[in-house]
Amino acid sequence: MSQTLAHTGLAPRTQALRFAHVAIIGKYQAPGSRHAVDEIAHFLHDQGCEVSLELETSLNTGLNQYTALDVPGIGRECQLALVVGGDGTMLGIGRQLASFGVPLIGINQGRLGFITDVPFVGFRERLAPMLRGEYEEEKRSMMAASVWRDGRCVFEATALNDVVVNRSGVASMIELRVEVDGHFVANQRADGLIIATPTGSTAYALSAGGPMLHPAIDGWVMVPIAPHTLSNRPVVLSSSSEIAVEIVAGKDASANFDMQTLTSLMHGDRIVVRRSPHSLRLLHPVGWSYFDTLRKKLHWNEGG
């Protein structure tokens, strides 16, 4: 899994860098983001790292003293990416960098995120040992989704959280035919259907009544949204399954991928979801625990 060397405080400069070239991706629309990106860049430079900024981050913060790289450039040249923002920022860049195998560390500027778990306040103490190899690594599975119309693939996308098929603001339900590995499951009348990874099980799927899946579980969760039949319940499936959802009836259906990419659907369209060949590499400080994150994020045991 990871290297778990005991450490307190900043790593000594004599310890060799594990990551010599580091990219920073920032949520540049947020107040104070320019300051945060600049402060982290200065810290990395002081630690002996070569620093680059993702192209849009560079353009929108005006920090042009650092090399600007597009996503393929980061994938080719950098050994680590720091994502400064929230889970949405991580979802956006994570899908793009996963195919390059570049590990990511999430630094949140506000509320704790499920996958951006290093707080900006005190980031130096946590980040310094990680740059020298003291971290815990996990891999998050991803989905490869495609939309098929009249036997042709008309849309493709990758999802780290979920694939959501739903109606777009009209009063009536939609009807979906669901198959798993070629086997008919059911025709479902509902507001929609969520297919989520373990990472996405704490997002929209959770609010729709689905279970939380530990990231180590090799599975997906399939959750109906406001189903017409109350016995239509969430189902946990193997991540090796192929899920197909066909639009049978209903108006203005659409498919969302991580709630960041959208495509409209027509009657007869089939949305096919398979496991992506790529995984997201996330790095955490030594001692990180998934359950610590759940407890803090979901406010468990408050007042206990």
For the segment 245-271, what is each residue's pLDDT rounded down to a tens digit? 999 998 889 999 999 999 999 999 999
Can you say how many angstroms the Cα of residue 131 is from the centroid of all Cα atoms in its chain?
22
Looking at residue 230, what is its pLDDT? Answer: 86
- Antiparallel, parallel or unpaired: β 104-108 and 118-119: parallel
Q: Catalytic site residue 87? A: yes
The residue annotated as part of the active site, out of 87, 117, 258, 269, is: 87
**What letters, b where the CB count within 10 A reaches 16 and e where it falls short, cover 257-279?**
bbeebebebeeebbbbbebbebb
Q: What is the dihedral of CA 258, 259, 263, 266, to 10 degrees?
A: 100
Q: Given pLDDT bands bounded at 50, 70 and 90, which one contains residue 171?
A: low
Q: Given pLDDT bands bounded at 50, 70 and 90, which one contains residue 302?
A: low
**What letters, b where the CB count within 10 A reaches 16 and e where it falls short, cover 237-247?**
bebebebbbbb
Q: What is the number of alpha carbons within 13 Å of residue 70 lying toward its C-beta?
A: 1
The pTM of the full predicted model, rounded to 2 decimals, is 0.90
Average pLDDT, the chain: 91
**CB count, 10 Å around CB of 300?**
10
Looking at residue 39, what is its pLDDT? Answer: 96
pLDDT over 70 at 19, yes or no: yes
- Among 256, 3, 219, 290, residue whose Cα is nearest residue 132: 3
- The pLDDT tens digits of the residues spanning 112-165 come to 789 998 999 999 999 999 999 999 999 999 999 999 999 999 999 999 999 999
- Among 56, 47, 58, residue whose Cα is nearest residue 13: 47
- Among 44, 52, 85, residue whose Cα is nearest residue 71: 52
Which strands, in side-by-side order, build the sheet including 253-257? 235-238, 219-225, 192-196, 162-167, 253-257, 261-264
Looking at residue 30, what is its pLDDT? Answer: 64
Q: Given pLDDT bands bounded at 50, 70 and 90, which one contains residue 12?
A: very low
- The pLDDT tens digits of the residues spanning 97-117 come to 999 999 999 999 877 789 998
